[in-house]
């Protein structure tokens, strides 16, 4: 199999998206491109050097939900991004969904992916009933994928005692600001935010939980603020909870 470096991969992936392919074609062609990228490891040494020795590289990293995430490339038109995840030994990821389609390549050491189907209608806040539909181990060089929202619920697991690495490509988000973590053993689901948004969310939830004389005023101010809509949604939910307290 021919190999390509990261720059070539990004150029070819951008060209692929420019064709506006159907999702099945996108996933098929994207998986082939990913297989070419992860067949060669030499290019990844430059990434590690940047992480360790180039402060500007780290300064420009966008703080995500996962601390083991490294941004390798963000397309200027925001049509896709390339991320790397370094998984510690035997770590098991929380079951989660995605706001976009994604292509995941096993780069170093194998990982297990479990896929889930959501059985409930999503109308009950905090409740989710999942069914595991597949479990597969992907060896280095193999590629899997996820679809957006309820069609892409899965978890990742490093099955060995060494560090494993995946290279992931994600498209434009259909749902901005958060993902959802699922806890199948409890039939529950919760929104999860990046650190800055998470602090704002915690402050909103705390305002409702404290039930102070100022709580309602704070939550109503959230609703008319310049905060993102997904944060305002948290304000709406917390205001409902506040008003439901006896």
Per-residue pLDDT tens digits for 122-163: 999 899 999 999 999 999 999 999 999 999 999 999 999 999
- 184 in a domain, yes or no? yes
| Contact yes or no for 37/105 (Cβ under 8 A) | yes
Q: Are residues 216 and 177 in the same domain?
A: no
Domain finish residue from 192, 213, 235: 192
* 110 within domain boundaries: yes
User: What pLDDT does 1 receive?
Assistant: 64
Share of the chain above pLDDT 90, in %: 83
- Same domain, yes or no, for 188 and 211? no
Q: Are residues 181 and 204 in the same domain?
A: no
Q: CB–CB of 231/197 below 8 Å? A: yes
CATH number at residue 169: 2.60.120.10
228 and 207 together in one domain: yes
Q: Is residue 123 domain-shared with residue 55, that is, in the same domain?
A: yes
| Residue 211 belongs to domain spanning | 195-244
Q: Which letter does DSSP use for residue 161 in this model?
A: S
Same domain, 143 and 239: no
What is the C-alpha to C-alpha distance for residues 52 and 1, in angstroms, rounded to an integer? 31
Q: Tell how strand 111-118 and strand 154-158 pair up.
A: antiparallel
Structure tokens at 78: 């925001």
pLDDT level of residue 196 (50, 70, 90 thresholds): confident
Residue 1 lies in a domain: no
| Mean pLDDT score, 63-67 | 85
Q: What's the structural domain count of the chain?
A: 2
| Separation between Cα atoms, residue 80 and residue 83, nearest integer Å | 10
pTM across the whole model: 0.88
């Amino acid at each position: 199999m021919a190999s390509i470096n990261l720059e070539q991969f990004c150029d070819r992936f951008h060209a692929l998206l420019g064709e506006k392919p159907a999702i099945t074609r996108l996933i098929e062609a994207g998986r082939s491109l990913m297989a070419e990228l992860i067949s060669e490891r030499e290019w990844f040494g430059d990434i590690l050097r940047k992480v360790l020795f180039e402060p500007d590289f780290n300064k420009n990293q966008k703080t995500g939900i996962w601390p083991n995430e490294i941004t390798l490339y963000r397309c200027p038109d925001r049509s896709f991004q390339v991320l790397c995840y370094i998984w510690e030994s035997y770590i098991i990821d929380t079951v989660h969904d995605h706001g976009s389609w994604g292509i995941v390549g096993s780069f170093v050491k194998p990982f297990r992916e479990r896929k889930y189907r959501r059985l409930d209608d999503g109308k009950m806040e905090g409740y989710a009933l999942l069914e595991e539909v597949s479990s597969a181990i992907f060896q280095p060089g193999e590629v899997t994928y996820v679809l957006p929202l309820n069609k892409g619920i899965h978890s990742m697991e490093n099955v060995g005692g060494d560090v494993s690495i995946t290279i992931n490509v994600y498209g434009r988000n259909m749902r901005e600001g958060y993902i959802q973590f699922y806890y199948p053993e409890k039939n529950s689901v919760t929104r999860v935010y990046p650190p800055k948004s998470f602090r704002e969310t915690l402050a909103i939830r705390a305002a409702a939980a404290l039930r102070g004389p100022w709580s309602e005023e704070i939550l109503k101010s959230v609703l008319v603020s310049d905060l993102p809509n997904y944060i305002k949604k948290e304000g709406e939910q917390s205001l409902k909870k506040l008003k439901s307290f006896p």
